[in-house]
Amino acid sequence: MSSRKGQKGAARVVREQLARERRRKRTLWVSAAAVIVLVIAGLIGWSVYSSQRAGEFTAPPGANEAGTGIVLGEGPVTIDLYEDYLCPACKQFQQVSGDTINQLVSEGKVRVVFHPVAYLNRFSTTDYSTRSSAASGCAAEGGRFREYTDALFERQPPEGGDGLSNDALIDIGVGVGLARDDFGSCVRDGKYQPWTEHVTEEASKANITGTPTVLVDGKPVADRSPEGIRAAVEAAGR
């Protein structure tokens, strides 16, 4: 009798151990499945977020296909200009070499892609780099990008201050022939600020670390003088 009871007890212990092992395995499988579902959901979510983020900006008329800059001219050689409207060296570059670049466009020798990046927001108290770049998108919408860019550099505020107000940015636009109502609404609404963020982010990804940066057919130009730029364009066109 005692032996049979002992056997039954041992069998019960074995059954309980097997049951616990089955529950443990079931729990592990359920947990693993849950992790897999979460990973897949996360990947799908990131994919959706990335695609939405990539589509959040609207490039202004005249932008290149990538939406990273405004195109001026249709020449065979491409000049990429990366400039910040708050950058003093960019203003100097425009004063020294801007007319040469405009002339090369007029001569049909170059296609200029102007990338108005916002690298210097930390040097203003109002994110002036972003606001001015976005305003240049509004100017492109009105067909006055080049004129507005020249005027912005002429009126460039000092670093470390407020920068120009939106009203001042609008007045500059009106001064180069843009309609106050349409242009003013575009500037105040920050219509092209997401575009500015895209331009700046893509420039950073392309390892553009400072402004002004000049590339001729993708190659950096060290000599940014009028003579240096012409020489680089001629070399690229051979």
What is the secondary structure of 81-121 as a DSSP string? EEE-TT-HHHHHHHHHHHHHHHHHHHTT-EEEEEEE----G
Is the pLDDT assigned to residue 27 strictly greater than 70?
Answer: no
The neighbouring-strand residues paired with 111 are 78
According to the model, what pLDDT value does residue 198 have?
A: 98
Is the pLDDT assigned to residue 24 strictly greater than 90?
Answer: no
Asked if 142 and 62 count as a contact pair (C-beta separation under 8 A), the reply is no
| pLDDT mean over 63-74 | 97
CA gap 26, 156 in Å, rounded = 69
| pLDDT mean over 52-80 | 89
Query: Burial level of 17, CB count in 10 A (0-12/13-18/19+)?
Result: exposed
CA gap 185, 181 in Å, rounded = 6
According to the model, what pLDDT value does residue 55 have?
A: 54
Asked if 139 and 183 count as a contact pair (C-beta separation under 8 A), the reply is yes
CA nearest neighbour of 118 among 159, 156, 85, 93: 85
pTM above 0.85, yes or no: no
pLDDT digits (tens, 9 = 90+) for 162-215: 999 999 999 999 999 999 999 999 999 999 999 999 999 999 999 999 999 999
pLDDT digits (tens, 9 = 90+) for 101-139: 999 999 999 999 999 999 999 999 999 999 999 999 999
| DSSP 8-state secondary structure symbol assigned to residue 155 | T
Is the pLDDT assigned to residue 39 strictly greater than 90?
Answer: no
Is the pLDDT assigned to residue 238 strictly greater than 70?
Answer: yes
CA gap 59, 232 in Å, rounded = 29
CA gap 169, 184 in Å, rounded = 9
CA gap 94, 89 in Å, rounded = 9
